[in-house]
Amino acid sequence: MAYLLTTQLHSLFSRLNPELFQKCFLSWIQSISCLNPGEVIALDGKTLRHFYDRGGNKKAIHMVSAWATSQRLVLGQVKVDKVK
pLDDT at 68: 84
Q: What is the mean pLDDT of the chain?
A: 82
pLDDT at 31: 80
Digit-coded pLDDT (tens) for 42-81: 999 998 877 666 666 777 788 999 988 887 888 888 888 8
Output the pTM of the full model. 0.54
pLDDT at 20: 94
Digit-coded pLDDT (tens) for 9-47: 888 888 999 899 989 988 887 787 776 777 888 999 998
Q: What percent helix, strand, coil does the chain show, rounded to 5?
A: 35, 30, 40
The whole-angstrom separation of Cα 36 and Cα 7 is 39
